[in-house]
Amino acid sequence: MLDLKAKLASAGLITEADIARAEKSKKAKGEPRRKQDPPRDDQAIPVTKLQGKPKSEIYDTIRKWVEHYRLDKTGGVPTESSQAYHFAQANGRVGRLTLEPEALEQLQDGRAGLVAYMSHHGLAHAVVPAATARSLAEVYPLWLRVLKGDSRAGAVEGDSVAQQEPSRVKP
């Protein structure tokens, strides 16, 4: 039995060139995307470029940066080895993320930090490399929720850190 492409070609509805073009685009779409190299410690949010920008543009830049470099898995079903991780939110409530062992290990040993950021659906949390977490804290100190060895982490609204006007950028 012939496949659909062969039947359409024999009926004169498509040409061999059409088939070749379709195969080429199918291969391009079907190839798995190359994984990004793991983020290096020097890959931090370009804080100086945010100076003087409107809040919406700052939120957008931070969102793109966090979504690109986040270390925790988004969407899908967690694996059996994943664990719940609890942390203090800026409003004093307890937040929870389900983290895979690798992301949890990096968070616990200080190679990664837990940050809040403004997603398209409101305030969200993600695990990012430590450099990204530190630079985000320079823009919005309250958004640094967990980072081993950083005194700004875990501040609650009303703390001295929280009372500071978000610096957005240090010149």
Quick: pLDDT tens for 79-123.
999 999 999 999 989 999 999 999 999 999 999 999 999 999 999
The closest of 122, 135, 130 to 89, measured between CA atoms, is 122
What average pLDDT does this structure show over 16-25?
Answer: 82
d(CA 144, CA 89): 9
pLDDT at 140 over 60: yes
Backbone angles phi, psi at 70, to 5 degrees: -65, 145
What average pLDDT does this structure show over 10-34?
Answer: 73
- In terms of Cβ atoms closer than 10 Å to its own Cβ (0-12, 13-18, 19+), residue 19 is middle
Q: pLDDT grade, residue 33 (50/70/90)?
A: very low
What average pLDDT does this structure show over 153-160?
Answer: 81
